[in-house]
Amino acid sequence: MSTPRTLHPTAPDTVAVRAVIGSAFADDPMMQWVFRDVPMAEQAIAAWIGLFVDAFAAGGVVDVVPDADGGIAGVALWRTGAGHLPFPELPNLGGLMVAFLGPERATSVGAGLGAFAANKPEPPFHYLQFLAVHPAHQGKGIGAQLVRFGQQRAAADQQGVYLESTNPRNLSFYSSVGFTSLGEFTLQPGGPPAYRLWWQA
């Protein structure tokens, strides 16, 4: 398996990144909460995540581990500065949520997702927003490679790394690569807990 590298994504790259994150997050408790009762939920999840991929491709940091066929086995999306990401205007995150969930539930879920911003630590830090390994390549150490690659960049900037995970199965993994707990909060109404994690060199 290849080593991590920072990608300057082309349009085909963003399609591949979207597919990896969409497939890896299809069973994430947060995604299951947001898109419950949505027909073809995996398609809705991939479409919504695709807007994040487009924004990170334009203004964030995209790290990947290629697979043996030149595709993407794993990806990490990072915010390394305080600026806002350039999210698309059409479609946008809220618009897709209304289209998939309806206005009432989209408003409720959107308010619940606001807990992520409300519970972030004081900057500066590097923020790992998405870490995903394609299901066909999981269990090979790719996620750890990507995290350590980003940790080295944060250490060079003399900053820590912050992330949230809404999947409790990931907590032992993050502990193994040096993260410690900052506590947790719950996505309301009726959503899963989100675990706040921190790493410092």
Of 145, 153, 155, whose CA–CA distance to 176 is shortest?
Answer: 145
pLDDT attached to residue 1: 59
* Other C-beta atoms lying within 10 Å of the C-beta of residue 70: 8
Is it the case that residue 14 has pLDDT exceeding 80?
yes
Positive or negative: CA dihedral 81, 143, 34, 187: negative
| Phi-psi group of 141: left, alpha or beta (phi > 0 → left; psi -120 to 50 → alpha; rest → beta) | left
Omega into 91 within 30° of 0, i.e. cis?
yes
Domain residue limits, the chain: 5-158
pLDDT above 70 covers a percentage of the chain that reads: 100
Residue 28: which of 12, 14, 8, 48 has the closest Cα?
A: 48
Which ranges constitute the DSSP H helices of the chain?
11-24, 29-34, 41-59, 93-101, 103-118, 142-156, 171-176
Please give the helix or strand (H or E) that residue 181 lies within, else none.
Answer: strand 180-186
pLDDT at residue 26 in the model = 92
Burial grade of 62 (CB within 10 A; 0-12, 13-18, 19 or more): buried
pLDDT digits (tens, 9 = 90+) for 145-174: 999 999 999 999 999 999 999 999 999 999
pTM: 0.95
Average pLDDT over residues 55-80: 94
DSSP letter for 92, please: -
Query: Cβ distance 77 to 7 under 8 Å?
Result: no
Euclidean distance between CA atoms 148 and 126, whole angstroms: 13
Number of C-beta neighbours around residue 51 at 10 A: 18
Measure the CA–CA gap between 194 and 30, rounded to whole angstroms. Answer: 8
pLDDT at 81: 84
Cβ proximity of 127 and 162 under 8 Å: yes
Range 5-158 classified under CATH 3.40.630.30: yes
